[in-house]
Amino acid sequence: TLRVFSGMQPTHNLHLGNYLGAMVNWIKMQDTHECIYCVVDLHAITLWQEPKDLRRHIRDVTASYLACGLDPKRSIIFNQSQVAHHAELAWILNCVARLGWLNRMTQFKEKAGKDKEAASIGLYDYPVLMAADILLYRATHVPVGDDQKQHLELARDIAQKFNVDYAGEIEAAGYKDGFFPLPEPFITGPATRVMSLRDGTKKMSKSDPSDLARINLVDDADTIAKKFRKAKTDPDALPSEVEGLKGRPEADNLVGIYAALAGKTAADVLKEFGGSQFSAFKPALIDLAVAKLSPIAAEKRRLEEDPTYIDGVLADGAARARAIASPIFRQVKEIVGFVSA
Ligand code: TYM
């Protein structure tokens, strides 16, 4: 079977990078796959979170998932800490993963900053927990933005090594092609890496000190318009071919955003806007973004008023997630050689 797993950290309000890089594919995959979407609160605390902010963000991100169009009837929507097997499997996988593999992770280097000795062990171990998230459900496809590619390669390496380390037990249990499927990254679309609106060479991110650098899914129409109006550009007109975007990171980014919002390719967008100045393109982009994003913000505001409903979605999702995870985790423990009652 085809099973999708993905997650986002409840450390902030979702932004346009989260939406176009991952969420748009999450929504589509509901039609074709069994989908499990997680609010990864265990990952969030790898950097210290104020508890009352974390609590609020978990419900906020869940509300955003629903407002964007995830359907809690078809998809499993839950928060990671409610399913204990994530942390348990992460421990076993810690003993499979190699120190050298983790030492190569570039995101740790960025997030740990200068003083690596002072980083939490959780921050270092983060990619192993991410592998556990995926493998706990024996998921086959993982829709994410481009920045998660290296973590997914690590998840595949861990799955592969587990399959080899325990090949005898795995075969004896009747699995022909290893126990864990190697999860496929699903990184597609015109905006797999949305860049900052202030600097086309930097990723759009929650941690950018300037709020003008990103569009938040809760921004109102005026704010969206202001941010795109102030977005950095170069002085030239848009090219009529995609090749013409090379070396023009800001133009490339805005065209990618337009394409992703419109459900078109960058080539289509340039067919329409090639030769236009930004003074003509930006208003079209603003209209499109406001039309697509305002209903999401409105729906999120509506959902926020009913935290009981949100908590209910999470509780139901956790029960359904556990029902899939429990038998898989029981099998993992048997394969490893643990004795259970
Ligand atoms: P997180 O919370 O940083 O981001 C959530 C998703 O949004 C994507 N994304 C972007 N895509 C395009 N352009 C951007 N500027 C941009 N910024 C963020 C991310 O690629 C991601 O898909 N480690 C993950 C969470 C995670 C996870 C998992 C994902 C934990 N366990 C298991 C998949 C499977 C993270 O920190 O995402």
Rounded average pLDDT over 164-185: 97
ipTM of the predicted structure?
0.99
Span 285-317, pLDDT tens digits: 999 999 999 999 999 999 999 999 999 999 999
Give the model's confidence band at 219: pLDDT under 50 very low, under 70 low, under 90 confident, else very high. very high
Span 94-131, pLDDT tens digits: 999 999 999 999 999 999 999 999 999 999 999 999 99
C-alpha 39 – ligand 1 centre gap (Å): 11
User: What are residue 190's phi and psi, to 5 degrees?
Assistant: -80, 0
Q: Which two tokens stand for residue 158?
A: 């861990």
Residue numbers annotated as active site: 111, 203, 206
Assess whether the C-beta atom of 216 lies below 6 angstroms from ligand 1.
no
Residue found under tokens 């990254």: 185
User: What are residue 104's phi and psi, to 5 degrees?
Assistant: -85, -5
Distance CA 265, CA 22 (A): 16
| CATH architecture designation of domain 211-302 | Orthogonal Bundle (1.10)
C-alpha 9 – ligand 1 centre gap (Å): 7
Assess whether the C-beta atom of 194 lies below 6 angstroms from ligand 1.
yes
Candidate of 9, 16, 18, 154 to mutate for ligand 1, largest count of ligand atoms within 8 Å of Cβ: 18
Q: Are the beta carbons of 238 and 276 closer than 8 angstroms? A: yes
How much of the chain exceeds pLDDT 70, in percent? 100
Q: Where in the chain is the domain with CATH 1.10.240.10?
A: 211-302
Rounded average pLDDT over 174-179: 96
Span 234-251, pLDDT tens digits: 999 999 999 999 999 999
| CATH architecture designation of domain 3-186+306-336 | 3-Layer(aba) Sandwich (3.40)
Statement: the pTM of the whole predicted model exceeds 0.95: yes
Q: Are the beta carbons of 224 and 253 closer than 8 angstroms? A: no
Assess whether the C-beta atom of 7 lies below 6 angstroms from ligand 1.
yes
Q: Where in the chain is the domain with CATH 3.40.50.620?
A: 3-186+306-336
Assess whether the C-beta atom of 217 lies below 6 angstroms from ligand 1.
no
